[in-house]
Amino acid sequence: MRIQRRLTLPLLTVALTATAVTGWASDSTALRDLFDASIRYTDKVEFPDRIGDLGDPTRGQASFGIGADGMTLDSSQALFQGLSQVGGTVVSNGRTCATCHRPGTAKLGLPPLPLSSTVPPTDPLFTGLQADTGVEPQGLPNFDQLGLLFHRPTRLNPFFPEDSDSRQLFFWRKTTRLVNTVFTFGFLNEGRMRELVETSRGAVFTHTQNGDLRFDDLVAVQRLQDISRFMEDTIDPPELQALLDPTDPNYQALVNDPFATVHPTTQLQRQGENVFQHYCMDCHNMPNVFSNRDHVNAPPHAGPPPYGHSFDIGVAERNAHHLEFRRFDPATGQRVQLILPLIAQDGTIVNLPVVDDVGLAGGTFRYEDLHKFKVPQLRRVAQLGPYFHDNSAATLADVVDYFNGDQYNQSVDGRLHPIHLNAGDREALLAFLQIL
C-alpha cells in the first residue's frame, strides 16, 4: 500500500532512534509517529463491519423516516419514545434520521444553505434543535447558515461529572451525505464510531430528545440494524456493489483497477485522473470509491475506536468560520474556556485549551488523535458540497486550492503527503473530480 510502504518505516525509524538515542520521548512529533505506526491495519478490500442480511432495508427506510416512495418524509414508523426503564418517560421531539438526512437531491444530507430558505421554522429540523444545541446561542445561526450541528461527543458518558470539561466538550460538524457509506471504515466525520448500529444508536439518543439520558430499551437492535442496512444500500454508482462480495465476478476487476467504474471522456479528465493518482491516492485509496481502505485487522469491536484511519490535514486548526469553542455559561452569559485532558503516548496528560475542533481526540482522548478526521468517499463528490467536516469549502475548487496551499502542506499529515499543483494540474484535477 502506497502510504505505508513509503512512509511507515522511515517515520518509525526516526522516531525510535530519537527516543532511544537522545531521550526525545517527550517530543510530540516522535510520539505521534510511534502512535501512527502502532496499529495493526490491513488494506484488504473487505467490509467486515457490514450489517448485510442482519437488517431489512425496507423496514430500515421506514425507521429512517422516509416513505415507501423513497422521497417523502414519513415519521410514522421512525420515532423513538415511550417509557424507558433507564431513561424514564422519553418524549420524541419529532425528529427522525431523515430530518437531517433528506432524500432526493440532498443525497441523504441537509437541504441547501441557508436551511431556512427552504425549510419552514415549524419543521422538526428547527423545532427539535434544542436536543443538540441546548443553551448554546450560536446553535441556531451556525446550523441555519453553515449547516453545522452542535455535537458533544461525551454527552452520554455517565462516568464524567456532568459539568466537567470532559463531559461538556463540543464541536460543530456537518451532516454527512450518506452516499457509499458501506465503503468507509469508521463513521461520523472523524470516524469515532466503529460500525453503523453504534452510530445510529448514538444519533437516536442525541438528536431526538432533550437531555443526556440513554434509553437503550426503546431502541431495539433490530431497528438499528434495519436502519443501518438501508444506509448500506445507498451505493452510487450501482456497479460498486461488486466490491462487497469477493465472489462477485467483477470484484477483482474493481480491486485491480481503481478507476474501472470511472469513465473520463476528455483529455483533461484523463490528465486529471493521473493527477489524482499521483497526489490524492495516498489517502483516497479505496478502489473506485476513493475513501481510505485501511482498517483494523480485526472485527470492528475488537478494540475501542477508531476502526479506520484518520488524518490531520489542518482544516480543524484553520477554523475558517471562526467557530466558537468556548462553552457558553447561561448563568453569567459569558464564555468559559474548556480544558481537555488528553493522554499522550508517553503517558503524560496534556491539558489542552480547546480552541478549535479537536477531531478524533474528542472520542479517544488521545493527544495523538488531535485534529484527525476520516477520509471521505469521493463518488458523486460534485453533488456533495459544501466540503470538509466544517463545511468550510463551498466548492470543489475551494477544496483543491486548500490542498494546494500552505495550510494543508504544513499540516501534520500534509507534510507527509505534500501536494503542489500547477495551474494545469489544478484544472485537470477539477475536471476529473466532476465526473466521479
Q: Which is nearer to another protein, 14 or 260 (CB)?
A: 14
- What would the DSSP string read from start to end of 339-404? EEEEEPTTS-EEEEE--S--BTHHHH-BGGGTTBEE----TTGGGS-SBTTTT-B-SHHHHHHHHT
Q: Cite the beta strand spans of 169-266 per DSSP E.
A: 171-173
Tell me the angle at which helices 221-232 and 57-64 cross, rounded to the nearest 10 degrees: 100
Q: Which is nearer to another protein, 238 or 347 (CB)?
A: 347
Beta bridge partners of 90: 82
Cα 315 to Cα 52, 60, 174, 356, 382: the distances in Å are 34, 34, 13, 10, 20
CB of 380 to another protein, least distance (A): 29
Cα 229 to Cα 44, 59, 197, 226, 253: the distances in Å are 22, 9, 9, 5, 25
CB of 397 to another protein, least distance (A): 34
Q: Which is nearer to another protein, 12 or 113 (CB)?
A: 12
CB of 257 to another protein, least distance (A): 20
Q: Which is nearer to another protein, 40 or 263 (CB)?
A: 40
CB 316 within 8 A of CB 372: no
CB of 215 to another protein, least distance (A): 8
Nine cell digits for residue 424:
494545469
CB of 347 to another protein, least distance (A): 3
Please tell me the distance from the alpha carbon of residue 95 to that of residue 327, in angstroms, as a whole number.
25
Q: Which is nearer to another protein, 86 or 91 (CB)?
A: 86
3-state secondary structure of 117: helix
CB of 309 to another protein, least distance (A): 9
Please tell me the distance from the alpha carbon of residue 209 to that of residue 212, in angstroms, as a whole number.
9
Work out the burial of residue 342: count CB atoms within 10 Å of its CB; fewer than 13 is exposed, 13-18 middle, 19 or more buried.
buried
Q: Which is nearer to another protein, 61 or 200 (CB)?
A: 200
Tell me 102's DSSP state: B
Q: Which is nearer to another protein, 112 or 299 (CB)?
A: 299
CB of 288 to another protein, least distance (A): 20
Nine cell digits for residue 212:
443526556
CB of 307 to another protein, least distance (A): 10
CB of 290 to another protein, least distance (A): 20
Q: Which is nearer to another protein, 210 or 267 (CB)?
A: 210
CB of 241 to another protein, least distance (A): 25
Cα 275 to Cα 180, 185, 413: the distances in Å are 23, 25, 19
Please tell me the distance from the alpha carbon of residue 197 to that of residue 154, in angstroms, as a whole number.
18
Residues that bind another protein (CB under 8 A): 1, 4-5, 8-9, 12-14, 16-17, 19-21, 25, 31, 34-44, 84-86, 88, 153-154, 156-159, 192, 198, 201, 214, 216-217, 296-299, 301-306, 341, 343-347, 349, 362-366, 368
Q: Which is nearer to another protein, 95 or 192 (CB)?
A: 192
Q: Which is nearer to another protein, 31 or 240 (CB)?
A: 31
Residue-level length of the chain = 436
CB of 182 to another protein, least distance (A): 21
Cα 13 to Cα 16, 18, 33, 363, 418: the distances in Å are 5, 8, 9, 29, 20
Q: Which is nearer to another protein, 246 or 424 (CB)?
A: 246
Between strands 334-336 and 327-329, the pairing is antiparallel
